[in-house]
Structure 1
């Protein structure tokens, strides 16, 4: 899944969410660090939940993390 977005400070990014825990995203070092920072911590997997520990190998969880910490502009499968 290819995701394009903008960080809170205005920095644009484009990453590929791989679905692999060893390398959850390809592209932006900042986004990779964000995913690594939140790995194993509780995150909402939707606007109202559920609340689960972030699994870097779950592409939907990584996408929701990006939606919570940046403005996702576009996503393509």
Structure 2
């Protein structure tokens, strides 16, 4: 899936969330670093849950992480 958004400092990004363990994010180094730092931590998939530990292969959890830590503008399958 292709995700377009902005980081907290206003910098724009466009990444591909691949679902592959060896390279879960293609595009922005900053977004890739965010995902790598949060692997193994609990993440809410929606505002009220459910919650599960972030895995690099879990595209829904990676998207939820991006929505929590950045402003997601567009998601394209």
TM range (shorter): over 0.9
Q: Distance in 1 between matches of 2:65 and 2:40?
A: 12
SS of the equivalent of 2:67 reads helix
**1:12-31 alignment to 2 at 5 Å?**
12-31=12-31
Could you tell me which runs of 5 or more consecutive residues in structure 1 were left unpaired when the two chains were aligned.
none
Name the structure 2 match of 1:32. 32
Name the structure 2 match of 1:61. 61
Q: Distance in 2 between matches of 1:7 and 1:57?
A: 22
Task: Report how many aligned residue pairs link the two structures.
Answer: 77
**1:11-38 CA distance string (max 9 Å, x none):** 1000000011211110000000000000
Name the structure 1 match of 2:10. 10
RMSD, aligned α-carbons = 0.6
Could you tell me which runs of 5 or more consecutive residues in structure 2 were left unpaired when the two chains were aligned.
none
